[in-house]
Structures are given as structure tokens and as C-alpha cells.
Structure 1
Amino acid sequence: MSSVSEGRFPGSAVPLITRTPARTVLRTDDGVRIEAVYEPCAGNGRGAAETSFDGTAIVVAHGFTGSVDRPAVRRAAGVFARRAAVVTFSFRGHGGSGGRSTVGDREVLDLAAAVEWARSLGHRRVVTVGFSMGGSVVVRHGALYRERTGAGGGAAGSGGAGKREGRTAARPEAHADAVVAVSAPARWYYRGTAPMRRVHWVVTRPVGRLVGRYGLRTRIDRDEWDPVPLPPVGAAGLIAPRPLLVVHGDRDPYFPLDHPLSLADAAGDGAELWLERGMGHAENAADEDLLTRIADWAVAP
């Protein structure tokens, strides 16, 4: 069970471009403390060790009820680390992070802090890879946070998506250079499958939130969204010209294939779609071959 208060986090610091794994605590723009882990690239998977530590970093956004220390997240990080440096973290309300889960809304602030940390360690290119809820977060983050381009450019929150959500992206180095959404929903409030009806029960009912806290180790905010955030299908078309990869299994029990098809269609020519035969849902269903292909896509120039 996890019920860690924010005041219990120890302080820590990581030197610029570390060659060893490091764990730290990040603070989001709204003051939530987020646990995070950095792993340098272990090699390129072809027998040669990485010699440049300012290359690509992959930031992994886990699914609902996941955390930085869950086996599936650590497995994905281990595969990704063969190709690039990796940052993993626990969303608010998950694992050892503070706050409460807003199930994909303010989690963009958690991801922004993790991306900025990767850049602060010297990585000039950062790719976000999100699974399920994390997939919706990386898509929305890609729309809300853009590279600062000088006068009139600004951070992503100053654009159309940020105005619609009433939010300003305050972190100038928090943008992603490419986005990968795995098993992500295209729209909110989807209840078309039995697993998603169970998720909605956990999120919306007081008894469900108790189950989430003590059974699933996830602390869920009881307040409804206000305002309702831009849905992933609305955000997907705002990521370009940066590349977007949409990955989905044809046996996903949570979200049927109209979700990835809608995301790819909304993104237009800027998206690549992989429909994986026999794959189920999110990081638990992603095998080593798929994770390796995602990492190869992420580091490709």
C-alpha cells in the first residue's frame, strides 16, 4: 500500500550528464513532488558502448495504477536503455510520488518536469513514450509544450491548446522532439468495454477510490475535471511538425481499434501507425521486440 505524504520526500541532486543510474525527486509547476529515475544508455545493442551522453533520452510515461518501480516499467526501461538514456517516473498519486491522480489531466505537468530534467542532464533530443493513460498524456503534452522559438514563439501553453485549457506551459525546456503513444485512448469517458467500465467505477465512486488507494496503490483525486482537458484526438493534430508514432494491439481489451485509427487520422501526415497483431494492452503486453522497435524509431534521425 502506498500513502506517502509530500512532506516525506528527501532532497536529492543529480550532476550534469551522469554515467550511472540516479534517483531524484522533481517538483512540478503546481508544486507536486514526483519520484524519477535516470538510466544512461547502456549501449547501442550492437556491442558498442555509447560515447556521447548528449544524445537522445526516452522519457517513459506509465499507465494508470503503474509506477516507476513496477516490473513492466522497469522491463521497458531496460530495453530502451540499449538504445538511449531513459527517464522513468511515477505520475502523481502513484508509487512514491505526491499528490493525487487526475487520470490524465494535470499529469502533463509531471511529464513536463521529467522532460525538463532529461534536458538538464545534457540531452538535446527527448522522446516521450506513453502507455495507456500515459499515452494520452504524451499526446496532450506534445500539443501543449512546444520548443521556444524566440520572439512570439513562447512555450506550448501559449498556443491554441493551452488557451482552450486555460493553462500556460511555464517550463521552456519541457517540450518533446517526438511522441510515441502506446495503447492510448482517443477520447475521454469511454465505457465501451468491461475493463473501462471497471476503471470508471474505481475513479468516480468513493468505494472505488478506496479500492484504488489500498488495492491498486493509486491515490485518486475526487474532484471532477474543471475544465475538461483537450482530448487526445483533439491534441494529436497539434503535435506536428514533430513526429507522432501511434502503437496499438489488435487484442487490446480496453480500447478498440477505432481509438488508434482516430488518433492517426487526426494527426494526418505527421503520424505513423503500428497495429500490432496479437498484442493486448500497454506496457504489460509490449514484448521485447516491440519495445526494441519503438526505441529504434525514437533514436532514428
Structure 2
Amino acid sequence: MSSEPEGAFHIADVSSITRGLLRATLRASDGVPIEAVHEPHMRHTAHMEHTGSVADTAIVVAHGFTGSVDRPAVRRAARAFRRYAGVVTFSFRGHGGSGGRSTVGDREVLDLAAAVAWARELGYARVATVGFSMGGSVVLRHAALHKDSARTRTDAVAAVSAPARWYYRGTAPMRRLHWVVTRPAGRLVGRYGLRTRIHDRAWDPVPMSPVEAVPLIAPVPLLIVHGDRDPYFPVDHPRMLAGAGPSELWLERGMGHAENAADDALLARIGDWLRTGSRRDGP
């Protein structure tokens, strides 16, 4: 499994529109169907129902490994971000109602690109991305690889609980995750226990790592958020990311890992940062 260059994007099916909420099936550039949901900015919902207009900014949310568009933590993040912008959530390949199999951060860049392109198709002039854990690695790589594409680029990016480098096994949770991803029995656990379909082939070639992507992101604003009690990736990961290129680093005291550990106050601060591309009130 390996990354592919940007390709065609289109909406395969729009299944429902309810009070401003829009569910659609997108196609990544390699043809994988991706389920996605658009929810307008809270302050613009009533106006949108009457005029069809949208707010200026959309936030595209990239979930962590084993997440999906309908998981409670993802829905909670979407509700928080809707205070600041329209929100697009989606399920990575191999997750939820999307097709394909997970490549654990490699070809998922194509899924995010499809979601960003959809946000622009919906009329948003400015699109920001936020990713959690695996999704954090994806938003970093996407920002680097797509910054010259008018249709799929991001205007601001936040990576929460993201790894800096591949193949990290320095914590017990990451050793368990590697077992799930690399062993046949682990992939069965992933499919039936974690509801995540995982590709059985190793990366070939190995994709650009998150820390390699960071220097390529500027001048797009970049925010790195990480908990000092993250059980998966210790704080040398966010420090390595922040040290690799222009960025803003928030080390959150007492925070664990990813969207499940991000409280409402932190989500609000991230949403405000994504709307403006800078911090107005410090963490």
C-alpha cells in the first residue's frame, strides 16, 4: 500500500439533507467511497435553510484509528467546532461506512483531500483541518502534499496527539496497536472487535513521516496540541514536530490521548484557533 498523487474527486451520492445536515458518499482519488457529513455553522443554520448560503470557514475533522463519523467523541468535537465554522466529518477508509481498508495513515491523505474538496464544493472559501492521533499524522502530511492545490489545500491545520515518526513502539498501547495492524489475528480483532478493516500489506514505499511533512507546511498556520499524560505518544513527539518547522505548540496538562481526552474547553480553543489561524487567548 502506498500513497497516490491527487486525482479526480466527486460526490457519488447525497443521501439526506435534514435541517442543514448533509450526508454524502465521496470518492477518494483512488476510487474508495468515503462517508461524510456536513453540518453548517450554528449561527448560520437558519439562514442556510432559507438561502442555501454557508459561512466563510469550514473545519474538516480527521478522526483517530478505529474512529468514525458517528462515534460519540467525533460527534462531540463536531458540535464544539460548529460554534466557530461549518464542519465536515468523515470516516477514513476501512472505518465506519466507508469502503476500502485502513492503511493506518498512508492513503488516508486521499480521503482527507476528498473531504476538503467537498467543503470547497459546498461554497466555503476557507477550509481548515484538524486531526486526532492517526488523523493528526494525516492532516500534517495532507497539508504538506496538497498546499499547492487550489481545490484540496488547507488554510490552517491542527494536529492533536499526533505521532512524529513511524513504527514507534515505546509504549504498551502502541505495542498492542502494532500487533493489531501487523498480525493476522490482530487484524481479525480489528475487524470484529474494533470495527476497523485493516490492509494486510506493508507500506511500499514508506510514506513521508509527520515530522518530515512539517517543514513543508509553511506558510500555512500550524498548531500542535498534545497531552502530557498521553499513554500512546510521550511529549518528545509534539516537541519534535514543533521543532521541525514554524508552528504553535500547546502542551496540555493532565490530558490523555486524542479526541476522547479533549475536553470541551480545549475543543473550543482549537475551534477558535482554526477559525482565525492564530491564538487570541492562551491555553
Specify if TM > 0.5: yes
Where does residue 232 of structure 1 map in the other structure?
Answer: 210
Where does residue 275 of structure 1 map in the other structure?
Answer: 251
Residues 44-88 of structure 1 show CA distances to partners (whole Å, capped at 9, x for unaligned) of 9xxx98997241100000000000000000000000001100000
Asked if structure 2 preserves the Cα contact closer than 8 Å seen for 1:19 and 1:40, the reply is no
Asked if structure 2 preserves the Cα contact closer than 8 Å seen for 1:26 and 1:113, the reply is yes
CA distance in 1, matches of 2:47, 2:20: 13
| 50-59 or 195-204, larger mean C-alpha shift | 50-59
1:249 lines up with 2:246 in the alignment: no
1:86/1:248 CA distance change after superposition, 3 Å: same
Residue identity in the other structure for 1:113: A
Residue identity in the other structure for 1:176: T
1:53 lines up with 2:54 in the alignment: yes
Instruction: Pick the aligned partner of 1:290 from 249, 266, 272.
Output: 266
| Aligned structure 1 segments of 4 or more residues deviating by more than 4 angstroms | 48-52
- Structure holding more strand per residue: 2
Deviation at 1:19, TM superposition (A): 6.7
Question: Secondary structure of the equivalent of 1:12?
Answer: strand
Which structure 1 residue ranges, 5 or more long, are not aligned? 1-9, 148-154, 156-171
Question: Secondary structure of the equivalent of 2:42?
Answer: coil
Residues 127-182 of structure 1 show CA distances to partners (whole Å, capped at 9, x for unaligned) of 000000000000000000013xxxxxxx4xxxxxxxxxxxxxxxx50110111000
Residues 181-208 of structure 1 show CA distances to partners (whole Å, capped at 9, x for unaligned) of 0000000000000000000000000000
In the superposition, the TM-score normalised over structure 1's length comes to: 0.84
1:36 lines up with 2:51 in the alignment: no
CA distance in 1, matches of 2:264, 2:194: 26
CA distance in 2, matches of 1:212, 1:91: 14
**Residues 1-301 of structure 1: pairs in structure 2 closer than 5 A:** 11-12=13-14, 20-43=20-43, 53-147=54-148, 155=149, 172-267=150-245, 270-300=246-276
Residue identity in the other structure for 1:273: L
CA distance in 2, matches of 1:233, 1:297: 22
1:173/1:13 CA distance change after superposition, 3 Å: farther
CA distance in 1, matches of 2:21, 2:14: 13
Deviation at 1:43, TM superposition (A): 2.4
Asked if structure 1 preserves the Cα contact closer than 8 Å seen for 2:59 and 2:130, the reply is yes
Superposed CA RMSD: 2.1
Asked if structure 2 preserves the Cα contact closer than 8 Å seen for 1:104 and 1:134, the reply is yes
CA distance in 1, matches of 2:264, 2:249: 19
Question: Secondary structure of the equivalent of 1:11?
Answer: strand
CA distance in 1, matches of 2:15, 2:193: 32
Question: Secondary structure of the equivalent of 2:43?
Answer: coil
Residue identity in the other structure for 1:119: R
Identity of aligned residues (%): 72
Asked if structure 1 preserves the Cα contact closer than 8 Å seen for 2:95 and 2:195, the reply is yes
Where does residue 161 of structure 1 map in the other structure?
Answer: none
Asked if structure 2 preserves the Cα contact closer than 8 Å seen for 1:42 and 1:49, the reply is no
CA distance in 2, matches of 1:133, 1:201: 16
Question: Secondary structure of the equivalent of 1:220?
Answer: coil
Deviation at 1:23, TM superposition (A): 0.3
Deviation at 1:256, TM superposition (A): 0.2
Which structure 2 residue ranges, 5 or more long, are not aligned? 1-11, 278-283
Deviation at 1:13, TM superposition (A): 6.7
CA distance in 2, matches of 1:49, 1:265: 43
CA distance in 2, matches of 1:14, 1:264: 41
Question: Secondary structure of the equivalent of 2:30?
Answer: coil
Deviation at 1:12, TM superposition (A): 2.0
CA distance in 2, matches of 1:240, 1:266: 11
